[in-house]
Amino acid sequence: MDEQEDRFTDPTYRAAVIDLLGTLAYGELSAFLRLASDAELAPTLTAKAALAGLAATEFEHHEQLRDRLIELGADPEQAMRPFVEPLDAFHERTRPSTWLEGLVKFYVGDGIASDFYREISDFVDPGTRKLILSAVDGTARASFVLQTVRQAIAIDPTLASRLGLWGRRLVGEALSQGQRVAADRDTFSTLVVGTEAHPGMGLVGIIEMFGRITERHTQRMHEMGLSA
């Protein structure tokens, strides 16, 4: 039995990984649905297709995560279920009213979520880590969004302050729903805080992690030409 399989005999670890994959799987599915719905706001057919393409990629990731859940003997439906309400609440409270708001939301939300999962992936077995890193790799997706937002601001600089405000609201809502999930599911904290056999980052580490995530968010806002 290799190290990877060994950890799955620990029911706490298994539950944590299933929670992790479940939240990510629903995150990708709901990102698919939101992006597809935002595509309706797109000003041109080319832009609609670009957003549809981002959505399709999210769906591919969803499928990989779902397959892995089945492999682990979990029911994907049940694994995703606990995260439906907080994620839907986040989307409900941050419905973009313009095409650009949709793009900024995608860039900001996808960025923060990816950073968070990437941090957590340090504390899981290599197989799970690989899957998570592939699901959150958004390099290819980002450039279209970045370019479009920057172009729009270049044409109408007053957009910058409105979209900057929007970005701050997104972060606030993301944090408040994230805290809800963390409070409800101690599986995550066990994984991140760590145990004797598998040390995590500890409480101080967690605070530092949020610092890093915030910093990278600020960076992304600047990349779009917005202040965080």
- The Cα–Cα gap between 8 and 24 comes to 19
Other C-beta atoms lying within 10 Å of the C-beta of residue 195 = 12
Q: Which residues contact 102 (CB under 8 A, 6 or more apart)?
A: 35, 38, 41, 51, 96
Give the residue with the Cβ less far from its own copies, 48 or 118.
Answer: 48
Residue 29 binds its own copies, judged by CB under 8 A: yes
Other C-beta atoms lying within 10 Å of the C-beta of residue 15 = 17
Residue 40 binds its own copies, judged by CB under 8 A: yes
Q: Which of 16, 39, 69, 192 binds its own copies (CB under 8 A)?
A: 39
- The Cα–Cα gap between 223 and 79 comes to 35
For its own copies, the binding residues in 45-64 under the rule CB under 8 A are 45-46, 48-49, 52-53, 55-56, 59-60, 62-63
Q: Segment contacting its own copies (CB under 8 A): 13-21, 26-34, 152-160, 167-175?
A: 26-34
Q: Which of 12, 37, 189, 214 binds its own copies (CB under 8 A)?
A: 37
Over the Cα atoms of the chain, what is R_g? 18
The CA-based angle 64-61-27, given to 5 degrees, is: 115
Residue 17 binds its own copies, judged by CB under 8 A: no
Of 113, 106, 115, the residue nearest 50 (C-alpha) = 106
Residue 77 binds its own copies, judged by CB under 8 A: yes
Q: Which of 27, 76, 96, 109 binds its own copies (CB under 8 A)?
A: 76
Residues of this chain that interact with its own copies (CB under 8 A) are 26, 29, 32-33, 36-37, 39-40, 44-46, 48-49, 52-53, 55-56, 59-60, 62-63, 66, 76-77, 80-81, 84
